[in-house]
Structures are given as C-alpha cells and as structure tokens.
C-alpha cells in the first residue's frame, strides 16, 4: 500500500516518519487564496481540496496501473483568534504585528484532515474527512525577541506565524489538546480515519 502525503510540510512528514510511516510526498499545488469561510471550515475544505487534487493526479497516471491501493492524506492548518482565520503571515511586518497582538493571549489551531483511498479495482474514491482543534496559550516574548524570531524567516512559512517544535516553541506557554494538531497532523484522529476505511495502523509501518 502506498501512502501519499499531499503536503510539503516538514513537520507533517516528520510526525509520520517518527510514527513509523514513510510516505511519498506529492505537493497539491492548490491555491489557498481561492477558498474562504469560517476558520475550522476553511481548514477542512482546504485539506479536502489538497487531497483530491493529488488523488486525481495519481489516478490519471499510467504507472499506477499495476500498483496496489493508494492512500492520500491532505491536511491544512488555520489559526483562529476572535473568530478570524490566520494563515501564513503576508510578510515580516505582518508577522511582527501578529505576534505583538497575540502574545499573552490564546488562539485555536484548527487542522483539517482528508484521507482518500484509491483502488485500481474500483473507479470510486473512498474519502473521509475530519477536523482536529487545539487551544494554544501564547507566551509574552519581548519586542526584541519577536523581531529576532521573525528575522529567522520561520514564522513566514507556517500557519499562524509560529511553530511548536522549532524556534517558536520558546514562545508557547502551553497546549490544550493534541500537540500534533498544532504541528499540523493529529495521529489519533488519523488513526480513527484509517479505522473507518478498514485499515489498521500497523499495516502502514515501515519494516
């Protein structure tokens, strides 16, 4: 069984690898700016778009004709604060302003998951989606710390403008919920989606 991650996120790839899965990475190319909606709904819809874009691409390629089942996982993360969705900062100035506003505050990190099962024996795609959410309690970095953090470029590459497992971890006081959700992929939720498709987690572990 091939497991395909429809995301370029190093954090998602690292989570899967640490959990025993060695996925192929196929970036969807979906334009995130074409989708809008409430934060949680936005994360879920984008995850579905990304998974479907990659699944459709794989279903059309000739070299899959002799292959076995393919699983495609699409994910997308959005930070919600006061009902507003925040993706990646537009630029360094936006990242600095955002951090100054959210320090000492809380936000909800939503990560949408969409899992699609492709089979050469059937023209139908089996698809299942779900949303995971966790509350993030931000620390209170100084202006100098914020500027130094933004200068590394890290906040510009990630949803919400922060990371949990890298430099941004210095400025996060706590998480209420599954930390994986904040990293971009909830393993417990993914397991439930796999079970719903009749797949046991150990069958995906690399030898």
Return the active site residues.
76
Q: Is the separation of the CB atoms in 104 and 182 below 8 Å?
A: no
Residues 6+ apart with CB under 8 A from 138: 102, 103, 104, 105, 106, 107, 162, 171, 172, 173
Q: Is the separation of the CB atoms in 122 and 149 below 8 Å?
A: no
* Alpha-carbon span 147 to 143, nearest angstrom: 6
* Alpha-carbon span 103 to 113, nearest angstrom: 28
């Amino acid at each position: 069984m091939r497991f395909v991650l429809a995301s370029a996120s190093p954090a998602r790839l690292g989570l899967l690898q640490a959990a025993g899965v060695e996925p192929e990475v196929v970036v969807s190319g979906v334009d995130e700016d074409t989708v809008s909606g409430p934060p949680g709904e936005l994360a879920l819809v984008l995850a579905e778009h990304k998974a479907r874009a990659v699944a459709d691409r794989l279903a059309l390629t000739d070299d899959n004709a002799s292959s076995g089942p393919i699983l495609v996982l699409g994910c997308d993360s959005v930070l919600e604060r006061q009902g507003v969705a925040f993706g990646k900062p537009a630029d360094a100035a936006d990242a600095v302003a955002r951090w100054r506003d959210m320090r000492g505050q809380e936000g909800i990190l939503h990560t949408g998951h969409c899992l699609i099962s492709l089979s050469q024996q059937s023209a139908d795609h089996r698809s299942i989606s779900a949303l995971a959410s966790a509350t993030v309690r931000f620390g209170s970095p100084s202006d100098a710390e914020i500027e130094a953090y933004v200068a590394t470029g890290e906040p510009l590459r990630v949803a919400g403008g922060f990371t949990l497992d890298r430099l941004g971890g210095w400025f996060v006081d706590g998480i209420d919920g599954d930390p994986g959700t904040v990293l971009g992929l909830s393993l417990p939720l993914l397991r439930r989606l796999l079970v719903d498709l009749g797949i046991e987690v150990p069958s995906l572990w690399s030898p």
